[in-house]
Structure formats: structure tokens, C-alpha cells
Structure 1
Amino acid sequence: MRRTITKVGSLAAVSMFALAVAQPAQAAQSGGAGTRPAAYFEFTDGKDTFVFQLTDPARIKQARDIISGVDKENVGVMGTVVKTPAPYNKPWKYQLAPDSVKFFSMAVEVCDASIAYVNDHLSEVGGALLPNSTWCPWSSKLKREITAP
């Protein structure tokens, strides 16, 4: 009887440990509310402005370093186009996937297009226009951080 209780107790302890370890990992994967603070930034292509969201603390720091002038090289913004509007990015009909955003100094021509051109040809994005939905407007320049909408 004593062995059965010890085995059951050990099994329960292992199960509780596994549950405790799994919950934070699941929350991070699902992007659960409150798991990662969001920051919003604006860039321009010389004519229009575009707002995007970042949730990765390292990328948020990098964006702030660009704005403050610490990083003067990687001021262009690139990421994966998501063909749905975001409430913080009006009037555009699309947004950038927050976890895809990177900053660059040079990029290949195939991912270059203006903000308005992408908006006007959104149905073509992912095909001949911006293969894999990767967008890197060459004239983009990160301008400022904005308050959360």
C-alpha cells in the first residue's frame, strides 16, 4: 500500500510540474493577452505613412534605437504583408505581421513597392507582386513611436 501511495504521489508531482512548465510556453505561442507588451511605430515611404505593431522586446528596442539615432544604418522596414486591415493603420487595407518585422539598410528589388501601390494591388500580393508576401519598401524610413490605439 505504501508503494502505491508513493507512486501516485510521484506521478502527481511530475504531472503538476509538467503543467506548470507547459502553461507559459503555450501562452507565448498563442500570443495570449498580456504575454508580450505591444509597441506601435510609424514609417514613411516619402509620401505616405504606415503604422505597424511590434511585440518582440528586442525588435522594440531596435526600433527605438533607430528613432533615437543610435542605429543610423538599418532604418528601412520590412515584413510579411497580412491582407487584413488593422485598426491602428488606417486607411490601409493591410498590415504587417508583428513577428515578421525587421529593419534593413539594403534589400532585393523584388520586395520593393510603395505603401499606396501595395494597397491598390493587394490581391496580387504573394504572387508576382511581393513573392511570399514579403514587403521591403526601399524608401521606407522608420520615423517615430506612436501611442497605443
Structure 2
Amino acid sequence: MATATRFAFTQPSSPGVEFIIELTDDATIAHARRILSGDEKNEIHVHGRIIKQRVPYNPKFSFHIDPRTIRFFQMAIEVCDANMVYVEDHLDEAGGAFLPGGHWCPWDSKLTRELKE
């Protein structure tokens, strides 16, 4: 089991707002670090299943992404694409017609940094 490692991502559609994710899988952590170093140029956007619960490492939001479900993608279906602020504002609708199954894949997500504890 990997040591939990946190990363931030932004979306141009939400300027100045960061979303923090926690990764707990060695391969996914290594992939995230390759994105940040510029070695990974294809599968660079964040995907995962949201949990409607606030976590201490991401206090600006009432939800987080389940670390066990986080992967990175190049292309995804439109139905899981949404802006982080929009998700927060419509969290009660998430999991139904909006973000079916709680899957969130913001197409414009850009990993920006690894958080150092």
C-alpha cells in the first residue's frame, strides 16, 4: 500500500480554484508525477467517483474523489464532464442524470502540483 499522496488540479473554467485529490496507489502516484514532470502527455486528465462528503485536505468542497477510483484519461464521454464549482453547486443532483454513478471526468482538468506535507 502506497503512502497517501495529494495533488492539486485546476480547470480553466474555474480560474483561481484548486481541487485536491489523494492518491493511494503506487502506479497512480507515479503516473501523476510523470504528468507533472511533462513525461506523460496523453492520459493527463482526472477521473474518479465522487463521494458527497467533505475531507480535511480539500476543505473548499463538500465532496471529494474516492482515491481508489482515481485514474487519468486522454478522452472520456461527455456525460461525466463538469466544472468543479458546478459540481459543488449541484451536488444534490450528482449521481443521477447529472454525473451518472457519481463518475466525474473534468475534461479541462490540469494537474498542477504535488502537495508536500
Q: Normalising by structure 1, what TM-score?
A: 0.74
User: Which residue is 2:72 aligned to?
Assistant: 103
CA RMSD after TM alignment: 0.9
Q: How far apart in 1 are the matches of 2:60 and 2:85?
A: 10
User: Which residue is 2:6 aligned to?
Assistant: 40
Query: Structure 2 matches for 1:67-146, cutoff 5 A?
Result: 67-146=36-115
What CA deviation, in whole Å up to 9, does each residue of 1:95-149 have, x standing for no partner?
A: 000010010111110001000000001111100110000000111011110123x
Q: How far apart in 2 are the matches of 1:42 and 1:128?
A: 27
Higher helix share: 1
What amino acid maps onto 1:42 in structure 2?
A
What amino acid maps onto 2:102 in structure 1?
S
What CA deviation, in whole Å up to 9, does each residue of 1:21-60 have, x standing for no partner?
A: xxxxxxxxxxxxxx53100000111122100000100000
Q: CA deviation at 1:71?
A: 0.2
Provide the secondary structure at the position in 2 that maps to 1:41.
strand
What amino acid maps onto 1:60 in structure 2?
I
User: Which residue is 1:14 aligned to?
Assistant: none
Q: CA deviation at 1:75?
A: 1.3
Poorly superposed stretches of 4+, deviation over 3 Å:
none
Query: What is the percentage of aligned positions where both structures have the same residue?
Result: 46
Say whether 1:54 aligns with 2:27: no
Q: Quick one: higher RCO (CA 8 Å, sep 6+), 1 or 2?
A: 2
Structure 1 unmatched ranges of 5 or more: 1-34
Q: Normalising by structure 2, what TM-score?
A: 0.94
Greater Rg over alpha carbons, structure: 1
Structure 2 unmatched ranges of 5 or more: none
Q: CA deviation at 1:73?
A: 1.2
Tell me the number of residue pairs that the alignment of Structure 1 and Structure 2 aligns.
114
Higher strand share: 2
